[in-house]
């Protein structure tokens, strides 16, 4: 049964806070189970961290999440169900690394930095994968030795388990690329949990066969838009939820602008840190409150340079480049499926994103 308005208050079995992909998929599954659902979204659009940016001729680049890999089976299945196709990320040709002031070309995921660094990275990756296999992804805190693994940063682990400067720098680059944070800011347990969830360290880094393998035709936000369009209940935009109160069998959710929903259950589908900005009555249990205080977002800025055509392809280059210096430490060919225009995507991650995110757009350019 669709959600209904009752004297300005919507009534539904379940209210979902946040119309990112998580909230929209929750709403879709609940409706599939016969429940009425109302979704409240703070922004004037759905998709959250999926956002298309038009670049003319009906084409887009994605300034939020964009890639999907073979282990993201539910995402691939969802896209197929709502009729969004994928296409392979362009990765033909050689990659480039800027290292020690020199440019070097290489093929594959790991740059040619000399035998010692490569062996070092390989042994560290094997250790990470071996440790990660011990972590149950659905409850990482139940892993053997979880408290010990959570008590050290990934950087502390790297200092003990990587023996060359090159090895450490490469793993640092990989961590910044995957987590949008520095190794100093991540616990070892979190890195292992995420590695296990993603199907292995290589899988997180690779383009072909890995997490960067495919992109969505029309941009990833289209998946969220289609899921939203197929819901029968209301998706109220421009409704930042401020208060969630529970009494007896019902929960009342109130947003700025007057939107309000009364429901039997509420799902808050926001990044943990943002969950903590809602006033809960009664207050959240202490442990949950502490969790939201301790799970900050990463920091990432995507920069797109548009050219008439992807000129690097003719030079035998993939568009993938890595730099130890930065500020852009990673680039990809992010052109539309037909290769026009040529789009080079550069990432500012972690410290670089915080530093350059704080200056104006002109200075950043």
Ligand X SMILES: Cc1cc2nc3c(=O)[nH]c(=O)nc-3n(C[C@H](O)[C@H](O)[C@H](O)COP(=O)(O)OP(=O)(O)OC[C@H]3O[C@@H](n4cnc5c(N)ncnc54)[C@H](O)[C@@H]3O)c2cc1C
| Interacting positions 25-44 with ligand X (CB under 6 A) | 40-43
Distance of CA 22 to the CA centre of its chain: 12
Q: Identify the residue among 11, 15, 18, 225 touching ligand X (CB under 6 A).
A: 18
Residue with smaller CB distance to ligand X, 162 or 241: 241
- Rounded to the nearest whole angstrom, what is the least distance from the CB of residue 340 to ligand X in the complex? 22
Which range of residues in 3-11, 48-56, 78-86, 126-134 is near ligand X by CB under 6 A?
48-56
Choices 21-29, 85-93, 197-205, 335-343 (CB under 6 A): range interacting with ligand X: 21-29
The answer to whether residue 65 forms part of the interface with ligand X (CB under 6 A) is yes
CB of 73 to ligand X, least distance (A): 12
Give the count of residues interacting with ligand X (CB under 6 A).
27
For residues 17 and 97, which CB has a smaller minimum distance to ligand X in the complex?
17
For the chain, the three-class secondary structure string (H helix, E strand, C coil) is CCCEEECCEEEEEEEEECCEHHHHHHHHHHHHCCCCEEEECCCCCCECCCCEEEEECCEEEECCCCEECCCCHHHHHHHHHCCCCEEECCCCCEEEEEECCEEEEECCCCCCCCHHHHHHHHHHHHHHHHHHCCCCCCCHHHCCCHHHHHCCEHHHHHHHHCCCHHHHHHHHHHHHHHHCCCHHHCEHHHHHHHHHHHCCHHHHHCCCCCCCCEEECCCCHHHHHHHHHHCCCCEECCCCEEEEEEECCEEEEEEHHHCEEEEEEEEECCCHHHHCCCEEECCCCHHHHHHHHCCCCCCEEEEEEEECCCHHHHCCEEEEEEECCCCCCEEEECCCCCCCCEEEEEEEECHHHHHHHCCCHHHHC
For the window 229-268, what string marks contact with ligand X as x by the rule CB under 6 A?
A: -----------xx---------------------------
Structure-derived torsion over alpha carbons of residues 212, 214, 220, 225, reported in degrees to the nearest 10: -140
Is residue 350 within the footprint of ligand X (CB under 6 A)? Answer: no
The residue among 71 and 123 lying less far from ligand X, judged by its C-beta, is: 71
Segment interacting with ligand X (CB under 6 A) among 2-10, 14-22, 84-92, 313-321 = 14-22
Shortest separation between residue 239's beta carbon and ligand X, angstroms: 6
Shortest distance, position 354 Cβ to ligand X, whole Å? 14
The answer to whether 318 and 89 are in contact (CB under 8 A) is no
Q: Which is nearer to ligand X, 240 or 337 (CB)?
A: 240
Piece of 58-66, 97-105, 323-331, 332-340 that binds ligand X (CB under 6 A): 58-66
CB of 308 to ligand X, least distance (A): 26
Q: Specify the length of the chain in residues.
A: 365
**Does residue 198 belong to the site contacting ligand X (CB under 6 A)?**
no
Between CA 75 and CA 77 the distance in angstroms is 5
Residues 277-306 that bind ligand X (CB under 6 A): 278, 300, 302
Binding-site member from 64, 140, 218, 326 for ligand X (CB under 6 A): 64
Residue of 12, 16, 37, 48 that binds ligand X (CB under 6 A) = 48
Closest approach of ligand X to the CB of residue 119, in Å: 30
Residues that bind ligand X (CB under 6 A): 17-23, 40-43, 48-50, 64-67, 240-241, 269-271, 274, 278, 300, 302
């Amino acid at each position: 049964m669709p959600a209904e308005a009752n004297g300005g208050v919507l009534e539904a079995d379940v209210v979902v806070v946040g119309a990112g992909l998580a909230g929209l998929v929750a709403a879709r599954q609940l409706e599939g189970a016969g429940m009425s659902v109302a979704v409240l979204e703070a922004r004037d659009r759905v998709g959250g961290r999926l956002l298309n940016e038009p670049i003319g001729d009906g084409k887009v680049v994605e300034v939020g999440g964009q890639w999907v890999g073979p282990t993201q089976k539910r995402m691939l299945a969802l896209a197929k169900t709502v009729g969004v196709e994928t296409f392979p990320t362009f990765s033909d040709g050689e990659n480039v690394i800027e290292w020690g002031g020199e440019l070097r070309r290489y093929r594959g995921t790991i740059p040619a930095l000399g035998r010692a660094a490569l062996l070092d990275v390989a042994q560290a990756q094997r250790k990470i994968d071996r440790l990660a296999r011990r972590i149950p992804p659905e409850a990482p805190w139940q892993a053997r030795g979880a408290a010990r693994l959570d008590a050290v940063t990934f950087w502390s682990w790297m200092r003990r388990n990587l023996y060359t400067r090159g090895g450490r720098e490469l793993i640092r680059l990989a961590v910044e690329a995957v987590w949008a944070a520095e190794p100093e800011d991540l616990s070892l347990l979190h890195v292992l949990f995420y590695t296990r969830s993603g199907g292995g360290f290589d899988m997180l880094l690779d383009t072909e066969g890995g997490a960067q393998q495919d992109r969505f035709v029309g941009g990833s936000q289209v998946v969220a838009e289609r899921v939203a369009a197929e819901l029968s209940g209301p998706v109220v935009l421009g409704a930042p939820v401020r208060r969630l109160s529970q009494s007896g069998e019902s929960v009342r959710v109130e947003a700025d602008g007057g939107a309000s929903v009364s429901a039997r259950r509420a799902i808050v589908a926001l990044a943990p840190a943002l969950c903590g900005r809602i006033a809960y009555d009664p207050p959240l249990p202490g442990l949950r409150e502490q969790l939201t205080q301790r799970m900050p977002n990463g920091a990432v800025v995507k920069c797109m340079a548009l050219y008439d055509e992807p000129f690097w392809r003719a030079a035998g280059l993939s568009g993938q480049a890595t730099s130890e210096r930065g500020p852009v430490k990673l680039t990809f060919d992010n052109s539309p499926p037909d290769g026009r225009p040529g789009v080079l995507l550069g990432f500012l991650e972690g410290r670089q994103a915080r530093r350059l995110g704080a200056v104006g757009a002109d200075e950043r350019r």
